[in-house]
Amino acid sequence: MPRKNKPTKSRIPFILSGILFILAFPPIGWWFLAWIGLLPLLVHARSLAFGLAFRRGWWSGLIMNAGLLYWVAMNTGAELVVRWLSLFGLLLILPLYWGFFAGFWAFLWKRWGDAAALVLPALWVAFEVIKNAPEIGFPWLELGLTQIDLMPVAQLAEIGGIRFVSVWVVAANVAVYLFMQRKHRSALIIALLLLSGAIWGLWRMNHLPPVDATLTAAIVQGNIDPEDKWRLPPDSSIVIYEALTEQITAENDVDLVLWPETAVPVYLGHQMRYQNRIRSLARNIDAAILTGASHYEFMEPAERGHYRYNSAFFFPADGSQPGRYDKIRLVPFGERVPFQHWIPQLGELNFGQAEFTSGNQFITFPVAEGVVVGAQICFESVFSEETAQFVQNGASVLANLTNDAWYGNSSGPYQHAALVRFKCIETRRPLIRAANTGISLAADRTGRIIQKLLLGERGAFIAEVTTCADYQTFYVRHVEMLPRLLSVLALILVITAAFEKPHGRLN
């Protein structure tokens, strides 16, 4: 029979699981707590009825997501109603997969006992795959992110992306759980597999593909108040970036200067005075400049209005015409109402969002011999499949232009900076990142930070990054194949278990 506990007391273990993961994720980053974060849930959910286990698991998800995503409501770039609706929507949806995870664990345990724990890594990754469905995908709090500073384990992302590292984390919890249940042989086998993965990661960090190209980049962090940037004349922002750029390039030879998202607060494709100004700067410093700016294109016929884009403009070192990349992955409800591909009328809803148009080409920019840059703007930089597409299109260096200033000194910018480092590992490409108010950084092919500017600093730094332009990782070639195969395996096992009779409480 299912347990009957006092409601408040019975939630405590599940709340504890949520708290442990808050401490394991950036910015606190106590990664070792992720290895036991699921244990309270596993121990206390296993003998509950599916519905009750779901509700208790939901509490774990609610606590974790609220504690790590509170900054969504701090977005000063959106209307108050949009901020709180966004946070409410996330806290309504994201805890559900915790609930289903707990419910299916209880369901499987009643049929297979503790052996059902072996299914949990595949089951968890299945929910991570599902929650990142097109249009509303939010790959922000994958459990693998907790291991970004445990570098040997993080290297597993080269094989199956950040979600393959999530598999490692859940498997670590399973090993500890089985050891607690005196299933020592099974626990030892899993522990040896986990250790083997970490040893391989350590070996891989020291045996990367040979370097065949080097990029010297200047990363500029203007630290400009995001509201002032749009309220004051454009020159008030541009002169800051010009001065920082001229200062650092006067003392260093660089191939590329990187400015943040919308560093130039004008429609740069049409306002030729500012475009010519940056072309002249690139020619004078003899270095390419990659900057964020807005853009628009008229519809056909023009009377229908225009398409707005959040774009990155690439100015070659010779001062010639700039290239442009338009952001493909827009922030749901922040930059565009989702599902307009199927229901165009949704575009007429106005929640105070910017309502941009998605780009549709993974454009890359050649900088030097063997160096081709793929630019990703803000939120889209956390999507692994899109990053792999840039590499497939020839990118040998990743660039992230972002503006996390809307979220102030919250945990959001720290989580974002940690997430993009996983893209280095998944693709074995170095990353340069310019953030308006921070955290700007350069990371090598292992995801290790070479240099950075802290949140709230104004300045610039030089980073030399190396790459192997022709090498493609297993993940780049096959993207989410392993997580999806594990998801299918989990589905098959759950269906198989459905045809077996529960045995009640098992030992």
Structure tokens at 12: 């405590």
- Peptide bond before 301: cis, by omega within 30 degrees of 0? yes
d(CA 99, CA 49): 12
Write b or e for each residue in 133-162: b if 16 or more Cβ atoms lie within 10 A of its Cβ, otherwise e: eeeebbbbbbbbbbbbbbbbbbbbbbbbbb
Contacts within 8 Å (CB) and 24+ apart, 447-452: 447/148, 447/151, 447/154, 447/421, 447/422, 448/151, 449/421, 452/417
d(CA 393, CA 361): 10
Catalytic residues: 261, 327, 378
Q: Using the structure block, give the residue that is written with the tokens 């170095």.
A: 430
CB atoms within 10 A of CB 164: 23
Q: DSSP state, 208?
A: P
What secondary structure, in 3-state letters, does 402-421 show?
ECHHHHCCCCHHHHHHHHHH
d(CA 196, CA 186): 15
What secondary structure, in 3-state letters, does 437-502 show?
CCCEEEECCCCCEEEEECCCCCEEEEEEEEECCCCCCHHHHHCCHHHHHHHHHHHHHHHHHHCCCC
Say if strands 397-402 and 431-435 run parallel, antiparallel, or are unpaired: parallel
Number of H helices, E strands in the chain: 16, 13
d(CA 154, CA 175): 19
